[in-house]
Structure 1
Amino acid sequence: MARWWLTLLLVNLALIATAIPRLGIDAMPWLALEGVVLIAMLSLWPRHHGRRWLGYLGGALITIALLGALGDTVTQEIRGRLFNPYLDPAQLPIFLALLRDNLGLTLSLVLVTATLIILLAFGAGVAHLLATLPRPRHAAARTGLTGMLLLSAGLTLLGLTQHIPWLGTPGVSLLAGQTSRAYATHAAVSDFEARLTQRESPLDAAQGQPLPGLAGRDVILAFVESYGMAALERAPFAGPVNARLDAMAEAFAQAGLSVASGRLMSPTLGGQSRLAHASVLSGLWIDSTLRYDLFLDSPRATLIDDFEQTGHTSVAMMPAIYRDWPAGQRLGYDEIHDDSRLDYRGPRLGWVTIPDQFVWHRLRQVRNTHHEPVFAELALISSHAPWVPVIEPLPWDELEDGKAFARWEGDGRNFYELWGDNAGMRQRYGPALAYSLAVAGEYATRFVEEDTLLILMGDHQAAPGMLGFTPNKEVPIHVISGDPALIAPFLAHGFKRGMQPPRDTPARAMDELRGLLHRLYGVEAH
């Protein structure tokens, strides 16, 4: 009987552990009925009718459930959602590369190897115990096991466990939930593939659609890394960020600039900024790498094509791109200014290889080389985790080739060690984001005039593991111009004057921005 109780204890611990990422310790059940059913069934099963193989199968399923729970834990921490077996296995190389970049190759290998060994060893031990469970010799024991089996199965099948908090079927619930998510995602991807071949509106075409209302005007689409609504609403970030927004609003008013703000729902959370960029550019909801790849393989036009049809030169300012970027070639920018082409000669400041202010500085220089209007997309990274070092704006006439940033050389060198310091990151996030907003605001007051529309927006919220309780996916968007007539249409479509986004209206999905620009400035509007 000791072996039987040990097996029940280990199986129960493994199964209830699978509920922790979804329910938390306080709400998880303390008795997993599927474990009782499995052990009672195997104990009663005839010895020579595949009983051993059923035991190994049960152990394998428990191991799979534990791996699924590990997936839930990781994706909850990074993405604020549960593991999706249809999408997330493809993200494993990206996750391993991120782990290597943050912890170093040796520590990453040790951590991953040790985790897999522990899980597989535990699963193998449980499988062996299940496969070699002794069959009860006494009729009373067999009767008791039969009663436990029928009671547990009955409670489960009748759905009565929801009325008894300490009972549940956590392993079955996890595997059923992940299977359901995979099936639903497969259906959604099929619908997305069909959408890519449809031509329901001009925006679905393979040719760009002009925006005559923006002809002859520079348009700058600037994504601020990790700039989410939580930064405006939660302590300790809200103080420095809102102070910066208020200062920007005052500076814009003094400079004669008009500004309106709104909220967008990003397709991603905590990372994968390219999904946000692609959703805005394409007018499609691209919330997974699979959808992103399908979009890139399609001929669908984007905002880049729209502005080229309008007479603009398209420019990408991508300081975090330092390898070949096939997606950029597919999207068809006229110019891509990545890490090497930005020609930054200053120090690399931790993860942030090129400070935002220098990217804005180079944008102005690039702009001055063109006689035609420019559509520029910027991916600004000074507000990227782990937010070290937090620097200050420099005088613009000192920027030159970036050597002026040497005063911070060496700061942030230990950024590998800081990723796990949530408390420290929470303190640095607000000031780092305030810096990114400050230099964007200074660029606007210096260089945004009547012939310019600056769209400044977040790409996604910061990681839930740092923000605390899981945030939504809302990000701020600000539109700024020296021409009030360019901003007025936004005010008529739910935006609010000033730098504070409205809170009393639903957030617009990020993929709707392309269509909104066409409604405000497209052929039908003019």
Structure 2
Amino acid sequence: MVRWWLTLLLVNAALIATAIPRLGVAAMPWLALEGLMLVGILSLWPRKRLPRRLLAYGSATLIVLALICALGDTITQEIQGRPLNLYLDPSQVPILLELLRDNLGLPVSIAVVLATLLALLAIGLGLGHLLATLLRPDTPRRCAWGTLVLGVGLALLGLWRDMAPVGTPGITLLTEQATRAYETRASLRDFDERLSERESPLDAPDGQPLPGLAKTDVILAFVESYGMAALEREPFAEPVNARLDAMAEAFAQAGLSVASGRVASPTLGGQSRLAHASVLSGLWVDSTLRYDLFLESPRATLIDDFEQTGHTSVAMMPAIYRDWPAGRRLGYDEIHDDERLDYRGPRLGWVTIPDQFVWHRLRQARREHREPLFAELALISSHAPWVPVIEPLAWDELDDGEAFARWEGEGSDFLELWGDNAGMRQRYGPALAYSLAVAGEYAERYVNDDTLLILLGDHQAAPGMLGDTPNREVPIHIISGDPALIAPFLEHGFQRGMQPGRDTPARSMDELRELLHQFYGATD
């Protein structure tokens, strides 16, 4: 009798736990109808041992699968602000494991993964054993019939939909995942067809020139985790807006023109490459599978467009420290990764190379070429967990990076830092203000009439740190010494200065390539 009730309680608890990531504790059901029916059916199942054991352990496996989906849902909601997608996210497991290793160290990462797997295995085997042994002499037959009739009756009549404490959390979760996977597959098929179309000159594999920028250096600089929430939410808004105001004043004194706006990123909290690919390609690349399809296609990008215009294409990628096949496919003339940047200073926590040094190397790369540059930068000083928060150095001190030694050893305890959400909230604004400060100083020094600097965020910071899930809007700033280069942006809804307007809809990141062709491309 006790075993039967214990089984019912444990099955119900496991199933309602799957609803927590979607509904939260306050709104989750307290009675799982599928649990009632499952326990009732197995309690009354004929005594043939093998079929009952298969059904019991198969049911336990489905419950564990639902728990895995719930765990994955929690992780993706915290990091990327979206639900788990079983069609897309299994490919992210190696990246997640690599992040665990980099942040927690190999021994702790192995311990965490093993503990999680063992816990899921124990739950599955324990539930399977309890469900397989329900048919015992002490099984309360009346209770079994009662639970079965109650579960089936409520399900068939649909009455449970009007009863908040009652639901079908496990079935709902697995059904949602199956539906999402089917819809994602159809979406990817449509995206693949879009890649093969030739509806626009931008679809051609060779790229289209931008004669309006033929003698202009163009810098596309992505600032890590720079989202609109940083301008609108406390405690980040004060240091970030103060920095933007200081940049606006400094740019005015330097004779630079600025236009700012908002664009919607395809990602949230991570996967910056999706934002880079969307801007470069003019396609909405919002998943790893779409990213892979794009890389496998002959689709041209801004890199091809600028090479057709006569530019040398340069990628400044401080976070790339392994082989990067995507970079070869995109066709940069030069890739300045971790090794080629030749940084001799200390590694500053997660941030291997400070932003100011990347800007410093960009200036050196500019001196090496007679042709105009198209440079893409991935700036990472504003990457979580935002330790240490450093200050700009004198530019003539940078040399090979040894001047950053004053911050050596700070921010190395990743396990403690990632678990400190309150601390990260306090550090995020100042770290982002630093990234903007050194970008602004570079612009003051080196952006002139023959330079167009596009400074934008790649995505919002992780929802787990920001609080309520933000939208996907990020600021974008267009900076040049030539007012004529900025004028088209002002005519198309961008605001003068460093503050993005809030009264117009945000553009999509994949519109930027077409917008550049509209402003600076060849006319019919």
Classify the secondary structure of the residue corresponding to 2:388: coil
Q: Give runs of aligned pairs for residues 260-275 of structure 1, distance below 5 A.
A: 260-275=259-274
Provide the residue aligned with 2:485 in structure 1: 486
Alpha-carbon offset, residue 417 of structure 1: 3.2
Structure 1 residues 194 and 157 mapped into 2: Cα distance closer, same or farther (>3 Å)? farther
Structure 1 residues 137 and 346 mapped into 2: Cα distance closer, same or farther (>3 Å)? closer
- CA contact 1:422–1:466 (8 Å) conserved in 2: yes
Provide the residue aligned with 1:324 in structure 2: 323
Q: Give runs of aligned pairs for residues 150-229 of structure 1, distance below 5 A.
A: 150-229=149-228
Provide the residue aligned with 1:334 in structure 2: 333
Classify the secondary structure of the residue corresponding to 2:268: coil
Provide the residue aligned with 1:104 in structure 2: 105
- CA contact 1:268–1:473 (8 Å) conserved in 2: yes
Provide the residue aligned with 1:17 in structure 2: 17
- CA contact 2:45–2:135 (8 Å) conserved in 1: no
- CA contact 1:85–1:178 (8 Å) conserved in 2: yes
Show structure 1 runs of 4+ deviating over 4 A. 135-138, 141-144
Provide the residue aligned with 2:255 in structure 1: 256
Is the counterpart of residue 280 in structure 1 residue 279 in structure 2? yes
Structure 1 residues 45 and 510 mapped into 2: Cα distance closer, same or farther (>3 Å)? same
CA distance in 1, matches of 2:415, 2:311: 41
Structure 1 counterpart of 2:181, which letter? A
Alpha-carbon offset, residue 136 of structure 1: 7.5
- State the superposition RMSD in angstroms: 1.5
Is the counterpart of residue 124 in structure 1 residue 125 in structure 2? yes
Q: Which moved more, 1:19-28 or 1:74-83?
A: 74-83
Classify the secondary structure of the residue corresponding to 1:29: coil
Listed one character per residue, the Cα deviations across residues 195-221 of structure 1 (whole Å, up to 9, x for unaligned) are: 111111111111110111111111000
Is the counterpart of residue 5 in structure 1 residue 1 in structure 2? no
Q: Give runs of aligned pairs for residues 410-425 of structure 1, distance below 5 A.
A: 410-425=409-424
Provide the residue aligned with 1:389 in structure 2: 388
Structure 2: gaps of 5 or more residues: none
Provide the residue aligned with 1:81 in structure 2: 82
Listed one character per residue, the Cα deviations across residues 151-206 of structure 1 (whole Å, up to 9, x for unaligned) are: 32232244332321111111011101111111111111111111111111111111
Is the counterpart of residue 55 in structure 1 residue 61 in structure 2? no
Alpha-carbon offset, residue 344 of structure 1: 1.6
Provide the residue aligned with 2:310 in structure 1: 311
Percent identity of the aligned residues? 77
Provide the residue aligned with 1:237 in structure 2: 236
Provide the residue aligned with 2:299 in structure 1: 300
Q: Which moved more, 1:82-91 or 1:150-159?
A: 150-159
Classify the secondary structure of the residue corresponding to 1:24: helix
Listed one character per residue, the Cα deviations across residues 107-145 of structure 1 (whole Å, up to 9, x for unaligned) are: 11111111111111111111111111126889xx65664
- CA contact 1:390–1:432 (8 Å) conserved in 2: yes
Structure 1 counterpart of 2:180, which letter? R
Classify the secondary structure of the residue corresponding to 1:316: strand
Structure 1 residues 363 and 152 mapped into 2: Cα distance closer, same or farther (>3 Å)? same
CA distance in 2, matches of 1:469, 1:252: 34
Structure 1: gaps of 5 or more residues: none
- CA contact 2:392–2:438 (8 Å) conserved in 1: yes
Alpha-carbon offset, residue 410 of structure 1: 2.0
CA distance in 2, matches of 1:506, 1:246: 23
Alpha-carbon offset, residue 356 of structure 1: 0.6
What is the TM-score of this pair, normalised by structure 1? Answer: 0.97
Classify the secondary structure of the residue corresponding to 1:457: strand
Q: Give runs of aligned pairs for residues 334-483 of structure 1, distance below 5 A.
A: 334-483=333-482
Provide the residue aligned with 1:46 in structure 2: 46
Listed one character per residue, the Cα deviations across residues 58-82 of structure 1 (whole Å, up to 9, x for unaligned) are: 1111111111111111111111111
Classify the secondary structure of the residue corresponding to 1:505: coil
Provide the residue aligned with 1:91 in structure 2: 92
Alpha-carbon offset, residue 39 of structure 1: 0.8
Classify the secondary structure of the residue corresponding to 1:220: strand
Alpha-carbon offset, residue 339 of structure 1: 1.3
Classify the secondary structure of the residue corresponding to 1:165: coil
Structure 1 counterpart of 2:106, which letter? L
Structure 1 residues 101 and 390 mapped into 2: Cα distance closer, same or farther (>3 Å)? same
Structure 1 counterpart of 2:478, which letter? V
- CA contact 1:136–1:142 (8 Å) conserved in 2: no
Structure 2 counterpart of 1:440, which letter? A
Aligned length: 523
- CA contact 1:103–1:417 (8 Å) conserved in 2: no
Structure 1 residues 15 and 280 mapped into 2: Cα distance closer, same or farther (>3 Å)? same
CA distance in 1, matches of 2:58, 2:340: 56
CA distance in 2, matches of 1:122, 1:86: 25
CA distance in 2, matches of 1:418, 1:325: 29
Alpha-carbon offset, residue 382 of structure 1: 0.6
Classify the secondary structure of the residue corresponding to 1:113: helix
Classify the secondary structure of the residue corresponding to 2:267: coil
Structure 2 counterpart of 1:22, which letter? R
Listed one character per residue, the Cα deviations across residues 341-399 of structure 1 (whole Å, up to 9, x for unaligned) are: 11222222111111111111111111112111111000011111111111111111221
- CA contact 1:44–1:135 (8 Å) conserved in 2: no
What is the TM-score of this pair, normalised by structure 2? Answer: 0.97
CA distance in 2, matches of 1:292, 1:211: 25
CA distance in 2, matches of 1:247, 1:449: 19
Classify the secondary structure of the residue corresponding to 2:155: helix
CA distance in 2, matches of 1:137, 1:106: 47
- CA contact 2:47–2:135 (8 Å) conserved in 1: no
Structure 1 residues 8 and 486 mapped into 2: Cα distance closer, same or farther (>3 Å)? same
CA distance in 2, matches of 1:158, 1:286: 43
- CA contact 1:43–1:136 (8 Å) conserved in 2: no
Listed one character per residue, the Cα deviations across residues 23-64 of structure 1 (whole Å, up to 9, x for unaligned) are: 110110111111001111112222228223212221111111
Alpha-carbon offset, residue 499 of structure 1: 0.9
Structure 2 counterpart of 1:193, which letter? D
Structure 1 counterpart of 2:513, which letter? R
